[in-house]
Amino acid sequence: MFTLDPAIDLIQTGKKNFVNTVFAHNSTIADALNGFVDAQTEYTKRAMKAGTDSATQIASEATKLTQDALKFNYWKAAEDAMKSFNVKK
């Protein structure tokens, strides 16, 4: 299945490299910012998984509804409806 985890990791690794480059002289600030980036990574991955799972379930249910609609005998329903309008003499 398609997943965005590698793209998320790529972006977040770039952020960490930037933090480590800019704040190389102060490890306390770098550690705090890297912790924030780690939290962003975890949140983003969970949000993408929840979105993907929801979309998959919605698509599955839509497919089931479509298949059920195709199983319905529309010709018979139309004939039954027309029979109800026939006038009996």
What would the pLDDT profile of 30-86 be if each residue is shown by its tens digit? 999 999 999 999 999 999 999 999 999 999 999 999 999 888 888 988 888 888 887
In which domain, by residue range, is 23 found?
5-85
What would the pLDDT profile of 27-41 be if each residue is shown by its tens digit? 999 999 999 999 999
pTM of the model: 0.68
Domain count, the chain: 1
In whole angstroms, give the CA distance from residue 17 to residue 30: 10
